[in-house]
Structure 1
Amino acid sequence: MKYLVITLISILTLACSPEKKESKSTDSIPKEPVAKQEPETSPEPEKVEEAPKLTVVVSNSKEELKRYYDLPHINEFYEYQMEMQYSEPDELQVPEDLSQLSYGDLRLLRNEVFARNGYLFSDGFLRGYFNRFKWYMPIFDVDTFRVVMSREEQDLVNAILTEEAKRKEETLVGANETDLYHADLVTNARQFKFVHRDILTDLAENNFSIVNAKRQMPFYVYDQNAYQYIPHYITIDLYLYILHKYFSCFLEKLDQNYMSKKLINLLTEVLKEVDVMKQSGGNQESLGWVEMYCKTALYAAYGTPMEVSLEYANIYQAEINSISAESGAPSFISNSTVNYSELKPRGHYTKTDELKKYFRTFKWISLNGVDLSDDKQLEGMISLAYIIKSRPQVYKIYKNYVSTMEKLAGQEDNVSIRDVIQAIEKIEDYNQAIASASLSSVRSQLSSLNKERIAKVFGKDFYMPESEIKRVYFLSSTYSISGEIFSKLIHVNGNKSKRPFPRGLDVPAVFGNETAEKIVVDEYKDAELWADYQPRLRQLQNQFDVFEGWEGNYGANALNTALAATTEKATYPTFMKTDAYNRKELSTMLSSWTHVKHDLILYQEKPYAAEAGQGGGPEPPKHYSYVEPNLAFWHQAIKFTKWLKSFSGLDGTHSDELQRILDVGLDLQTAAKIQIEGKDLPEELNVKLSRIGARIEYILLGLLETDHLPEREKSMALIADVYSYNGTNLNVAVGHADDIYVVVPIKGEYHMARGSVFSYYEFTDPTIYNDEEWKKMVGEENIKKRPKWMVPLINNIPSPKGQMEFRYPGHWMQGYYY
């Protein structure tokens, strides 16, 4: 008797409980059904200590099972909701040789014995799988329920357990010099209607597989998972997505409600002071230049021509025509490297007319720096500086505007009006400020400044006058780390150019990512094409090895968070240390960086090179999740999110949504830590994670201030031009979300979990694209291929669909939003 009781305890612990840990773990599953055998003649089971949830008896009679279906609440549920009545299922089909079955099918066969005897599975996969059969009518809300198992059924379960134990003697297998989870031990492949052999091959070789699922939003797959109880693989990508959406919405509000108004106010106040000074006898020529400058900028803002002096009438007309057309070269401040196609609004600046006009205004100002050697232009810039610094109210507007811009995007990267103000700081008389002696002094001081870290690059064999011109800007574009990297890792020289375009991979390579450098050097062969590539790369690596400015502005902080996606620690699962997964992480990192460049496209300098609810019935089963366990990323992401909270004082419209984002991040960080320790997630946390798709969608709707997705927000696709060479732009973009399938350990077994990852694109094109144009291209699948280093990892096949069934409509929506 003692032997039989122990045997059946093993049966129920393995058959009815959630997943076990890797085979080397000896942990038992607490508080799960315990089996006890009784003789066929015993009417009542013996009492077992600790009040087990389930008792199993061995008997060839099924009369006890039939009696359960006569209970009122059981009879009502199946008769009125499902029109089902109990009937014995067909004979169980068992192969003569159990070794012919896969591990997953073995587990299903073992659990079918319990399913046929009315057992209600708490495991979402097992419940959903057996719900597909009409004979599966589990008993619920019966405290005295016990499984009655025949002797043949007991023998079959024991035989299956023996075969399963053989399979689990080896839970890790060597692949690509790395011990990976044994994909043959995945238990839930039958959760899907069909799993393509390419996915199965990927799971065996890399423990993960990416499918070009073309999902318009990254949280959609998690909604499907929750409905079908497919385990979540909650990715870094999903959290980065909602972080970037928060900042994009925050910046949109800030630009519309503050930045655009401050800039217009600044230009208008300067114009008022010009009129006052002209009437009081100030230098008419220099003040006329300032007037022309401000009225041109205000045309970009309003689209309405203003009256200018006769001297500038023709130039003004030509200038505003080019601004309206968003094409052509400047007429007012000549510059052979400026093309007004750059005035085309993009990023979130296409959402409203006000944002479009603000984009054109700031972009026009940041493009048109004056030639320091031109007396007239320099006099005009000194006049502008004098007006700002000598009028406290105007100076306050200017300083607040620039301070906010630099908190967003970084410090100004060119000589600007700020430097001119410092050069004339002690001059109290306007005429003295523009006198020849002052002009010479200011020119000398500004010439000695070396602020430009993102320098324009010109081919050495192609002379361009612009290469010798130093320019001074009213408002300068700001410095970015990637901009400096790009400007220093290119070689241009006409048809002798060895590396006219940088690569997105240059950024992680500078920060020591070995996979990124390996791809650039070994696969693109850039070091062979340009011998200076690696020496320059080493110089930049040394430079940024001691970089401490990460928290100075959003742009740097967000890049640091993106880079954290590529970190690797000894404690991480082995599949995260493979070359294939490292490439997936690079795609995630570059997609996140693309979001940053997209959001800050107006402010950051673009590098340039040139030459020339539930009803009655059983309670819902449990749904499981596995969080991408990159602890370094989650630490940095939480730190970054808290930094954003301190930054949100500039505009607190979405402070509630940011707090929810932080709450989600803390849940994900907690789960990742628990997983790394080899422990099971607590039930309360599992419930929160099961709702991750809806939580992210709820936050997004809050950010958009709507209860449904507007048409332009139904696609996550976005694009940014990050570098220009001879009229051709390097574009980086994010398309629709891919699905990722990953072999993960949950509750002692391996599962195929599903999640969402970014799709990253990088290509050159003469056209500057905005989001609407790119979204259309993505929707029509009229887009370039992925970077060649990612192409082998992308499966262009249909993503597997779930095939589970559940008998309580709306069960998964209970408490789903919070």
Structure 2
Amino acid sequence: MRHLVRLTRRQVLWLLAGTLAGCALKPTATAPVPTPKPAEPTSTASAPTPKPVEPTSTSPAPTEPPATTGRSYLLAALKAPGFAAVMPESLNIKPAVKAYKTDPRAVLNQEDVLERFTPEQLKALEEWGFVITPSDEKQIYDIYIHARSMGLPVFVTTDALLHTFHILYDYTLRRVEYDHFVADLKGLMEAMLSASEAQAKEASALKSVAEAATRNMAFFAVAGKLLDPQARVPAAVRELVDKELALIQAHEGFGRSPIFGYDEDYSQYVPRGHYTRNETFERYFRAMMWLGRMMFRLRPGERPELIEMGRRETRQALLIVAALQNAKVGDEPALAVWERIYEPTVFFVGKADDLSLYEYSEVISRTFGNQLALDALADDARLDAFIQAARTLRPPKIVSSLVLDVENPAAVTQGFRFMGQRFVPDSYIFQQLVYDKVKGYQGQGKPFTMEPSLAGPVRAFPRGLDIAAVLGSERALEILRAEGDTEYDGYEEQMAKLRAEFAGLPPEQWTENLYWNWLHALRPVLEPKGEGYPTFMRSSAWTDKNLNTFLGSWTELRHDTILYAKQSYTIKATGLLPPPPKLPGYVEPEPEVWNRLLCLARLMRKGLGDRGLLDQEFAERLEGLENLVATLRDISLDELANQPLGEAQAKLIENIGSWLKAITTFEERTQKEITSAADERMAVVADVHTDPNSGQVLEEGVGDPLSLYVIVPGEGGTYVTVGGIFSHYEFKQPMSARLTDEAWQALEPKPPFAPWFEALVKPW
């Protein structure tokens, strides 16, 4: 079983002692990674509150006269945190490998090859220099461990190391959530609930302010109950809370929120990703999804009742900001606890796409001063001045809720979210390449991206290839065109605009957090390889193999961040080891990928370590990964320069499967607390986009690993090597049945591969 082997002996990771000069950080020692040590065992009274109010307002409330009494809240303009960028050093890559024949009948280890492969597989080896086949393994490192029993040298793929980083990223995030965020969030919700109760009591003479505070009580009580079934719910809001919890538990799709009065997609509350591993994660997922999705909008429309809804929701937001800056969680400021959750998630994923505490605090200080009196919130004129000022701030770039095509998405969704989901560049790309940014279908047939709507056939779904195309892949765009997925009014213009936008981003943007850095590490994979690279890398077939690598690793990124990454929505139209092999192994010569992955791992270790969020177990494994990747980078540079492997380098490659398994094998405490049987397999899934028109979501899946056989050059001739790569799937699923990892692993048969990739896979 995966991850159930404790590291009881000192790992021989001295083989990983390559140079670490690839990042602009102080190099770490190249000493062996030490064996991890076993882990050590390991007031409720509510204030009087107003009665619950009706969920929606249908007409503007009159402006109330200023109250003569009421509390004032001291407020400060706050600044969002920033993180120092870590820039990879430039590499001097001079590929000088001469072209060679890829005839499997002429390889040095032909006695191990010719009887092993089918005629079709041999044909692919000869034509492309490689062939992809199904495997029986559930983990990518097992392909390498078993390669020695096959008598074949190994081919170390970028896929294998990208997957290893995914495991460390995902498990580290789980550890931080389990050890830190869950307890902090529970304390914060109780403090915010109590603060909202106090506000409602203090504003009892101010109807509109008391109503807003009451709704906030319900908002925080829902989050508290989602986290802890025993959490208290004030009697004044129990009915509202119970109705909201019933909708969340049913998770059937769009429904009218009893608390907020607008439509919410309750299918989003199905725990997915690693949040299915235990009940603690499931509860945390639902609570954070609630806190991240529910909007406090500035002006959802121009009709009088919508203007009034904007005022009400803005009052709620201002009361929340005031409470956050003044409440206590025990003896600690609530703001410090909120930031202790928000800041690390910015480091992992990115900043909130919506306006947050930071922007609202600044506008409050400009419009209300450094004190916010409750009676000022009852003054519509002063509230409207705040709304007018806040509307000049950045709008959200990603629509993550139901919006009609007759509405302006940026305007109707602009506002505050308590712990807003994050801007991620791939969701932004998706948003720009579906309806209504891209209009009606102009082609024939029914491509994957097209769905009927009341406005006619529209581009309701994006594809993972859209991201690759925006990031510069001509092959991805060629496939999209060939399959009819570009035949929409405005698609080509949007694609050109996005390509220019992303090509112009400064290096600092690509390195501002772990999410952007991960995508940055994948970008060189998309670049076609020409003269000077090994023959197997020069064909269009290898370009397609690399597209699959990009999509597989991107899918794992979305899986790991499914709770925090803001999902895009289409606008709804109203209409035991044998002797070693005789030949040395080979490293996929992608030095820039290895270089960026090295920086990514180092940034993660340093950034979390500086914040006290990285325990020794994970620090050791990340350092081991850095050492390994640095060595692979140097080997790949030597390969391109026709330099032979050193003895230690050859030994490392030979044992790569054992090293990968060691890096991703965790202590008993970690396995017990944050893993489940689903982690014994490589296969994971993530829904990445929702289309309200068809009621479906776009699912991206990674399955069990595939085997990759490659003819590589060496001293004395060519020979066949074997490695592991991603299997990637893209398909649609009803939004009411968003897939978990467990459901995905059990699903048989799996959807077909994309046609362009299926052509590369030759069955046994």
- Measured against the shorter chain, the TM-score band is 0.7 to 0.9
| Residue 783, structure 1, aligned to residue 747, structure 2 | no
Distance, in Å, in 2 between the alignment partners of 1:275 and 1:376 is 17
Among residues 155, 159, 163, which one is paired with 1:233 in the alignment?
A: 155
Matches within 5 A, 1:633-782: 633-649=593-609, 650=611, 651-653=613-615, 654-702=618-666, 711-726=677-692, 727-766=695-734, 767-777=737-747, 781-782=748-749
Matches within 5 A, 1:247-258: 247-258=169-180
The verdict on how the C-alpha distance between 1:710 and 1:278 changes in structure 2, with shifts beyond 3 A counting, is: closer
> Per-residue CA shift, 1:449-505, capped at 9, x if unaligned?
233112369897667999845443222111011011100111356252332111101
Distance, in Å, in 2 between the alignment partners of 1:253 and 1:593 is 22
Percent of residue pairs identical: 23
Distance, in Å, in 1 between the alignment partners of 2:636 and 2:283 is 45
The verdict on how the C-alpha distance between 1:502 and 1:337 changes in structure 2, with shifts beyond 3 A counting, is: farther
Stretches of structure 2 that go unaligned for 5 or more consecutive residues are 1-96, 299-306, 441-452
Among residues 106, 128, 142, which one is paired with 1:220 in the alignment?
A: 142
| Residue 390, structure 1, aligned to residue 326, structure 2 | yes
Distance, in Å, in 2 between the alignment partners of 1:699 and 1:620 is 22
Aligned to 1:450: 394
Aligned to 2:110: 189
Aligned to 2:496: 538
C-alpha RMSD of matched pairs (Å): 2.7
Shift of 1:530: 1.1
Aligned to 1:340: 266
Give, as a single letter, the amino acid of the residue that structure 2 aligns with 1:409.
Answer: V
The verdict on how the C-alpha distance between 1:321 and 1:337 changes in structure 2, with shifts beyond 3 A counting, is: closer
Q: 8 Å contact 2:398–2:568 — kept in the other structure?
A: yes
Compare 433-442 and 600-609 and name the one that shifted more: 433-442
Distance, in Å, in 2 between the alignment partners of 1:318 and 1:365 is 17
Shift of 1:249: 0.4
Distance, in Å, in 2 between the alignment partners of 1:467 and 1:450 is 10
Among residues 499, 508, 515, which one is paired with 2:475 in the alignment?
A: 515
Any idea what SS the aligned residue of 2:759 has? helix
Aligned to 2:350: 410
Q: 8 Å contact 2:395–2:414 — kept in the other structure?
A: no
Q: 8 Å contact 2:148–2:580 — kept in the other structure?
A: no
The verdict on how the C-alpha distance between 1:742 and 1:479 changes in structure 2, with shifts beyond 3 A counting, is: same
TM-score by length of 2: 0.75
Distance, in Å, in 1 between the alignment partners of 2:568 and 2:420 is 13
Give, as a single letter, the amino acid of the residue that structure 1 aligns with 2:171.
Answer: C
Q: 8 Å contact 1:567–1:630 — kept in the other structure?
A: no
Q: 8 Å contact 1:344–1:360 — kept in the other structure?
A: yes
The verdict on how the C-alpha distance between 1:468 and 1:710 changes in structure 2, with shifts beyond 3 A counting, is: closer
Q: 8 Å contact 1:638–1:662 — kept in the other structure?
A: yes
Aligned to 1:307: 233
Distance, in Å, in 2 between the alignment partners of 1:614 and 1:553 is 40
Distance, in Å, in 1 between the alignment partners of 2:667 and 2:479 is 38
Shift of 1:391: 4.2
Distance, in Å, in 1 between the alignment partners of 2:607 and 2:551 is 24
Distance, in Å, in 1 between the alignment partners of 2:544 and 2:409 is 43
Q: 8 Å contact 1:648–1:655 — kept in the other structure?
A: no
Q: 8 Å contact 1:456–1:487 — kept in the other structure?
A: no
Relative contact order higher in (CA < 8 Å, ≥ 6 apart): 2
Distance, in Å, in 2 between the alignment partners of 1:440 and 1:461 is 26
Stretches of structure 1 that go unaligned for 5 or more consecutive residues are 1-170, 174-178, 798-818
Q: 8 Å contact 1:486–1:506 — kept in the other structure?
A: yes
Give, as a single letter, the amino acid of the residue that structure 1 aligns with 2:314.
Answer: L
The verdict on how the C-alpha distance between 1:543 and 1:341 changes in structure 2, with shifts beyond 3 A counting, is: same
Any idea what SS the aligned residue of 1:530 has? coil
Compare 651-660 and 200-209 and name the one that shifted more: 651-660
Aligned to 1:599: 560
Compare 259-268 and 237-246 and name the one that shifted more: 259-268
Give, as a single letter, the amino acid of the residue that structure 2 aligns with 1:204.
Answer: E
Q: 8 Å contact 2:471–2:502 — kept in the other structure?
A: yes
> Per-residue CA shift, 1:513-534, capped at 9, x if unaligned?
111111112x21333x214212
Give, as a single letter, the amino acid of the residue that structure 2 aligns with 1:268.
Answer: E
> Per-residue CA shift, 1:48-77, capped at 9, x if unaligned?
xxxxxxxxxxxxxxxxxxxxxxxxxxxxxx
Aligned to 1:317: 242
Aligned to 1:504: 464
Aligned to 2:534: 573
Distance, in Å, in 2 between the alignment partners of 1:587 and 1:363 is 30
> Per-residue CA shift, 1:152-189, capped at 9, x if unaligned?
xxxxxxxxxxxxxxxxxxx998xxxxx75344321223
Compare 447-456 and 346-355 and name the one that shifted more: 447-456
| Residue 381, structure 1, aligned to residue 317, structure 2 | yes
Shift of 1:595: 0.8
Any idea what SS the aligned residue of 1:505 has? helix
Any idea what SS the aligned residue of 1:754 has? strand
The verdict on how the C-alpha distance between 1:470 and 1:429 changes in structure 2, with shifts beyond 3 A counting, is: closer
Give, as a single letter, the amino acid of the residue that structure 2 aligns with 1:611.
Answer: A
Any idea what SS the aligned residue of 1:242 has? helix
Q: 8 Å contact 1:210–1:739 — kept in the other structure?
A: yes
The verdict on how the C-alpha distance between 1:446 and 1:332 changes in structure 2, with shifts beyond 3 A counting, is: farther
Give, as a single letter, the amino acid of the residue that structure 2 aligns with 1:719.
Answer: V
Distance, in Å, in 1 between the alignment partners of 2:650 and 2:246 is 60
Distance, in Å, in 1 between the alignment partners of 2:537 and 2:375 is 66
Distance, in Å, in 2 between the alignment partners of 1:471 and 1:566 is 37
Give, as a single letter, the amino acid of the residue that structure 1 aligns with 2:510.
Answer: W
Among residues 351, 354, 364, which one is paired with 1:424 in the alignment?
A: 364
Q: 8 Å contact 1:386–1:430 — kept in the other structure?
A: no
The verdict on how the C-alpha distance between 1:448 and 1:305 changes in structure 2, with shifts beyond 3 A counting, is: same
| Residue 524, structure 1, aligned to residue 492, structure 2 | no
The verdict on how the C-alpha distance between 1:429 and 1:447 changes in structure 2, with shifts beyond 3 A counting, is: closer
Give, as a single letter, the amino acid of the residue that structure 2 aligns with 1:793.
Answer: L
Distance, in Å, in 2 between the alignment partners of 1:336 and 1:276 is 26
Aligned to 1:52: none
Any idea what SS the aligned residue of 1:537 has? helix
Distance, in Å, in 2 between the alignment partners of 1:614 and 1:316 is 59
The verdict on how the C-alpha distance between 1:782 and 1:257 changes in structure 2, with shifts beyond 3 A counting, is: same
The verdict on how the C-alpha distance between 1:252 and 1:742 changes in structure 2, with shifts beyond 3 A counting, is: same
Shift of 1:257: 1.3
Shift of 1:324: 2.4
> Per-residue CA shift, 1:342-366, capped at 9, x if unaligned?
0111111111211111100010122
Give, as a single letter, the amino acid of the residue that structure 2 aligns with 1:428.
Answer: Q
TM-score by length of 1: 0.71
Q: 8 Å contact 2:200–2:213 — kept in the other structure?
A: yes
Shift of 1:387: 1.2
> Per-residue CA shift, 1:528-582, capped at 9, x if unaligned?
x214212111111110112131111111111111222223454321321211000
Q: 8 Å contact 1:210–1:738 — kept in the other structure?
A: yes
Distance, in Å, in 1 between the alignment partners of 2:757 and 2:403 is 32
Q: 8 Å contact 2:346–2:513 — kept in the other structure?
A: yes
Q: 8 Å contact 1:564–1:636 — kept in the other structure?
A: no
Give, as a single letter, the amino acid of the residue that structure 2 aligns with 1:579.
Answer: S
| Residue 358, structure 1, aligned to residue 284, structure 2 | yes
Q: 8 Å contact 2:277–2:676 — kept in the other structure?
A: no
Q: 8 Å contact 2:580–2:654 — kept in the other structure?
A: no
